[in-house]
Structure 1
């Protein structure tokens, strides 16, 4: 996560104030498709940066903001994964997956809170310029390889209309249905980066996106590109 201002290193209020999830429910983890192709252990390790659903209609998120391997550790087995069959690895379209865990978190785990999904949509819907929060455990500087922070980082960026993000001065037609752009267009300095893939994008207390792809990090011409969760809502619910 790259920011031109100090990074948030604790769970932001918009996320940590949400209602606790029920530990009785089946756990689902919503992420990008490419993330799910890694090993089960790696996917489980990444859970704290992703969104975990207590049910298809009531997502939740692990809000632990610091890597502490031996403190309050919980280990769940991955029961199955559901990858959208239309995923295209050439253009990253339909970059979304649902992972189902064969267990539940303990009732007294305050690090798990509920997060709702947006209503289902069929097209671009978030207002141009709207502020969204992107969180992850990725690189904090362009060019760093494998040097990840031990605290969760979040940054606020702005929704960019697809027609603008897709013009010849930016992504030139690469932004497809089911994607949206967010960043500081023509300024740069704030963005997701390597290692943030699959992490949540939050707008009005809802998980509206999952970090997908981009060209470079925090580049003023190329903002981050995210999977639009609302356009896959019906598929997520049926997963």
Structure 2
């Protein structure tokens, strides 16, 4: 049975975002999906009965246009983000850093700020932010991404306190290795380097994270799942894997 509850998912053209949109649609939400690749969005929207809208979280006008046409929001899933490069601090590419901060941090801020009044107005809102174990640790050659994810996570965690007493819950999901297009983007389309990240392990897949989002969204209004860290069994922290080949 469908409901009038609306879920908004950013970065929904592939990976965790697309899987989350499918899961929430199956749960009966009216789903609004946003991303830059509109052709992929429209295919997904046709599959699950969602509303597809172009969205670039790094662009103020795009965010304004996207959020202006959504009349109600009960669940917001901040999924848009990503990594670029594996340079050391000494060799840092400032353009890569800017992209990571604009997408992960300011992108999350723009969407959340714009939709927050509607989440509060819903009377039972939920903000889910997909961060990473990179929001909890540091590792060599990853400072651009880990610093952006730390900042994104602290934005989310700060909002948890600032909204105390308001009818909005906040859940942070921090995944480890999930086999999606993430590594392909990080390595600028190099398929061999991307595949090597997951070689010899059984990584998480996008639907694993989507099921957790679905579970969080189905909890009673008095239950707040503050932070969920999820990794493959073959992983025990950033860069530490049990590789069988």
TM-score between the two structures when normalised by the length of structure 1: 0.28
Pick 1 or 2: higher relative contact order, CA cutoff 8 A, min separation 6: 1
Higher-helix-fraction structure: 2
TM-score between the two structures when normalised by the length of structure 2: 0.28
Higher-strand-fraction structure: 1
